[in-house]
């Protein structure tokens, strides 16, 4: 009986998910005194882990966290570190790092790399040999799911053996298992396919989707809490919210009445539920929405960020709004970077672009006026686009104007539904992980909690 019990104990130990620390000691490390307590604890935890994710809301200082983390990793290994960031965010990273007395080098290609901390854009992934770096940081790592497959796979494969890694992004969508799987795989915690097989079951019905196993829900969140910190505000993990209270967000829906000629054989125009149909409605209603936009622009004299979805919208807005600057996908990267930085620094009053181009990573809190010149069906783009301005550190109330035609109400309702669902899920994610994360952050030494069976397994007589 004793031998069988020991064998069973060994079996259970093999089945446990163990994610040991592979980082550096933080005993003799002095962190910058300007950092908040929760930031210091996250940095120390990330240094001890060696490979970690920081999922915190916009404005909670992820740039400070990743720069300070990279500084101490470099001081330990004395080998090059690379930070990948969205376009123009790299230059903001350099500016923010100076506040911590950290020097970061901007590198366009491998010849620019120094033996220190380097930053570049995701668009330049192919220009670097991953083997020369001992540490890598992904800023706005949620972009992994937005990048083309080739770039995403390049990041996952090329930096698979890098000893120190940090992935930073705003709170991910809890039901976006692909994003969480990509993050886990990048950090060498578990591959995406392993995560699916361990915690999920495939729905073989009409939906053909993966869903979380009911009995594995808390195990899944406990697993995430071992390698990721999740918070929407410091008090989620028991810290004070001083300096981290958002101003009010005022959202106004403005409807432009548009008369669109019906298709041949129909008495009225019926908005199509397809993407092509929605784009046609937007194109047909551009001029009517322009008038509404101009009226809004005339009602204030502030910095303004205008989001659109179609090239036609961007072109006409730029033509009709005096002293505005437009960033298109076809513009070269140098122009995009300079224009975004100029807007962030107050040199430009009105910026027009698409969320897919400028909606990730940048700090545009100089502006407190946002105009959505129509909406897409992507809640993530909508969320990120608002958070460029409405973020911790914003001092003014933020006014958001959503201009749609009377033919686009289904899109508005769809975004509102997704927003409500996402907020509920994010709150659940924080609630499910806060105990484990709080414990990990406040421990100077990682402790592994072994499974201790309370009931002895009895072997049936016929098996003996």
Note the pLDDT tens digit of each residue in 211-233: 888 888 889 889 999 999 999 99
pLDDT at 112 over 70: yes
SS3 content of the chain, % helix, strand, coil (to 5): 45, 15, 40
323-334 tens-digit pLDDT: 999 999 999 999
User: Which residues span the domain enclosing 227?
Assistant: 2-241+425-441
Same structural domain, 75 and 139: yes
**Count of domains observed in the chain:** 2
Domain end (from 407, 433, 455): 407
pTM for the whole thing?
Answer: 0.84
Distance CA 422, CA 430 (A): 12
Nearest to 35 by CA among 99, 131, 82, 92: 99
Q: What is the mean pLDDT of the segment spanning 426-431?
A: 86
Same structural domain, 215 and 262: no
pLDDT score recorded for residue 290: 94
pLDDT band for position 114 (cuts 50, 70, 90): very high
Same structural domain, 144 and 282: no
Same structural domain, 324 and 230: no
Nearest to 306 by CA among 292, 317, 322, 319: 317
Q: Where would I find the H helices in 143-274?
A: 149-158, 177-186, 192-199, 217-227
pLDDT at 50 over 70: yes
CATH of the domain at 41: 3.40.50.300
Domain membership of residue 40 (yes or no) is yes
Domain membership of residue 170 (yes or no) is yes
Q: Name 397's Cβ contacts closer than 8 Å, sequence gap at least 6.
A: 247, 248, 249, 250, 368
């Amino acid at each position: 009986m004793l031998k069988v019990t020991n064998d069973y104990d060994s079996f259970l130990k093999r089945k446990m998910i163990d994610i040991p620390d592979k980082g550096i000691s933080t005993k003799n490390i002095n962190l910058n005194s300007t950092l908040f307590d929760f930031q210091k604890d996250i940095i120390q935890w990330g240094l001890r882990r060696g490979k970690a994710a920081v999922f915190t809301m916009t404005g909670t200082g992820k740039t400070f966290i990743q720069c300070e983390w990279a500084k101490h990793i470099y001081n330990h290994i004395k080998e090059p570190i690379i930070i990948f960031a969205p376009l123009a965010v790299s230059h903001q990273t350099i500016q923010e790092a100076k506040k911590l007395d950290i020097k970061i080098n901007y590198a366009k290609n491998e010849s620019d790399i120094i033996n220190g901390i380097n930053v570049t854009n995701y668009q330049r992934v192919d220009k670097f040999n991953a083997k020369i770096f001992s540490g890598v940081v992904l800023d706005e790592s949620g972009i992994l799911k937005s990048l083309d497959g080739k770039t995403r796979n390049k990041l996952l494969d090329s930096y698979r053996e890098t000893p120190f890694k940090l992935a930073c992004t705003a709170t991910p969508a809890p039901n976006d298992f692909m994003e969480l799987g990509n993050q886990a795989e990048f950090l060498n915690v578990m591959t995406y396919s392993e995560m699916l097989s361990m915690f999920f079951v495939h729905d073989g019905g009409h939906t053909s989707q993966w869903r979380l196993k009911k009995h594995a829900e808390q195990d899944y969140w406990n697993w995430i809490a071992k390698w990721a910190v999740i918070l929407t505000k410091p008090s989620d993990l028991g810290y004070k919210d001083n300096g981290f209270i958002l101003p009010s967000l005022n959202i106004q829906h403005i409807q432009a009445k548009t008369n669109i000629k019906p298709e041949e054989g129909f008495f009225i125009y019926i908005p199509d539920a397809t993407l092509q149909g929605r784009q046609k409605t937007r194109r047909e209603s551009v001029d009517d929405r322009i008038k509404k936009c101009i009226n809004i622009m005339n009602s204030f004299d502030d910095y303004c960020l205008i989001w659109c979805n179609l090239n036609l919208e961007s072109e006409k807005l730029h033509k009709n709004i005096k002293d505005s600057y437009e960033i298109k996908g076809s513009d070269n990267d140098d122009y995009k970077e300079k224009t975004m930085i100029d807007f962030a620094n107050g040199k430009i009053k009105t910026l027009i672009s698409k969320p897919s181009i400028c909606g990730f990573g940048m700090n545009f809190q100089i502006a407190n006026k946002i105009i959505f010149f129509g909406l897409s069906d992507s809640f993530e783009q909508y969320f990120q686009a608002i958070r460029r301005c409405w973020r911790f550190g914003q001092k003014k109330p933020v006014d958001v104007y959503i201009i749609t035609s009377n033919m686009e109400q289904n899109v508005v309702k769809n975004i509102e539904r997704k927003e409500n669902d996402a907020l509920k899920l994010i709150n659940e994610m924080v609630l499910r992980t806060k105990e484990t994360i709080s414990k990990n952050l406040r421990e100077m030494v990682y402790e592994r909690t072994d499974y201790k069976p309370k009931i002895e397994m009895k072997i049936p007589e016929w098996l003996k």
